[in-house]
Structure 1
Amino acid sequence: MAVKKKFPCRAAVVACNGTCAASAVSRCKYGCVGCGNCAAVCRFGAVSLNENGVAEVDEEKCIACGMCVRACPQDIIRLHECANYIVVRCANEDKGKEAREACPVSCIGCGICEKTCTAEAIHVIDSHAVIDESLCLSCGMCAVKCPRHAIADLRGILA
């Protein structure tokens, strides 16, 4: 089912990088547990589980109804503006060493992204980066400078 969207549109995004295997016993207690609730409630086929069992959203199919947001037991799915391509793909609130041990791509709250952002749109809150989309210019400098690759460009342009 194709849905015509108006600009700026909204879509869901999962705050979990998806490179580690999802499980209820994962060392990261903040990540996706792979329960599939989000995919089950999505009537548009926009949410699926990747090869690691982690939820992923197809922005082209997503209409931002919020069903997956409400169904997620980990509260790691949120709606974002599609015009903003830069997202934080981590919800880990552990500090430095513990975050590193839990996931190889978790945010460690180092603050490099915050120092890099000329728009002052990103801040470290509860030991992980959070982007204020109303201020973000989508320049991607935070994604480029992030030493852990916890910040991503959904277009796949910046690495």
Structure 2
Amino acid sequence: MAVKKKFPYKAAFVACNGGCRATSGEQGCKDGCIGCKACVSKCKFGAISLNEYGVAEVDEEKCIGCGACVKVCPQKVIHIHECANWMVVKCSNKSKGQEAKKQCQVSCIGCGICQKTCTAEAIKVTDNCAVINEDLCLSCGMCVVKCPRHAIYDLRGIIN
């Protein structure tokens, strides 16, 4: 059942695309969703499920942005984001460039191209991963276009 919301609203977002199949082993990403289902169990609105990769995914239609899932995520990859900001980084990998490339085909490698491209200065690379400041983001999509690893997404699906 969809929740009636007034725009703009807040909703949960999972900063992991599942390409890495996060593991605790040496080869896999240690920073992504591990598919533990803690968020699925905690959500009273049925807004979270695991996708085909075993990664948590949020149905914004059902999510009310309460943050319960954020609190229980052991990997800290779930964030509450403002729905009016469409550009998101779907990665939490903190590994450096070459190591991140080995772990996931679409991981952020901290190259900084998005940061240099952003005219609003809304993106900073922190711990080898891009982070978007939603208060500054203009949702222009230049970061999505320029990201060589496709770790930044337009949630509208217009620019991907």
TM-score, scaled to structure 2 = 0.95
User: Residue 61 of structure 1 corresponds to which residue in structure 2?
Assistant: 62
CA distance in structure 1 between the aligned counterparts of 2:155 and 2:77, rounded to whole angstroms = 16
User: Residue 9 of structure 1 corresponds to which residue in structure 2?
Assistant: 9
Aligned residue runs from structure 1 range 1-150, under 5 A = 1-25=1-25, 27-150=28-151
Gaps of 5+ in 2: none
CA distance in structure 1 between the aligned counterparts of 2:156 and 2:47, rounded to whole angstroms = 17
Identify the range of structure 1 (12-21 vs 117-126) with the bigger mean alpha-carbon deviation. 12-21
* 1:101-132 Cα shifts (integer Å, max 9, x gaps): 11111100000001111111001111110000
CA distance in structure 1 between the aligned counterparts of 2:23 and 2:116, rounded to whole angstroms = 34
Does the aligned pair in 2 maintain the 1:104–1:148 contact within 8 Å? Answer: yes
CA distance in structure 2 between the aligned counterparts of 1:120 and 1:50, rounded to whole angstroms = 33
CA distance in structure 2 between the aligned counterparts of 1:112 and 1:74, rounded to whole angstroms = 26
TM-score, scaled to structure 1 = 0.95
* 1:66-105 Cα shifts (integer Å, max 9, x gaps): 1110111000000000000110001111111111111111
**What is the deviation of 1:133?**
0.3
SS of alignment partner, residue 102 of structure 2:
helix
* 1:13-63 Cα shifts (integer Å, max 9, x gaps): 001012343545461000010111111111111110001100111111110
Q: What letter matches 2:73 in structure 1?
A: C
CA distance in structure 1 between the aligned counterparts of 2:24 and 2:126, rounded to whole angstroms = 25
Does the aligned pair in 1 maintain the 2:143–2:152 contact within 8 Å? Answer: yes
CA distance in structure 2 between the aligned counterparts of 1:69 and 1:140, rounded to whole angstroms = 26
Does the aligned pair in 2 maintain the 1:23–1:34 contact within 8 Å? Answer: no
CA 1:110–1:22 in 2, change beyond 3 Å: closer, same or farther? closer
Identity of aligned residues (%): 69
RMSD: 1.2
CA 1:51–1:23 in 2, change beyond 3 Å: closer, same or farther? farther
Q: What letter matches 1:101 in structure 2?
A: K
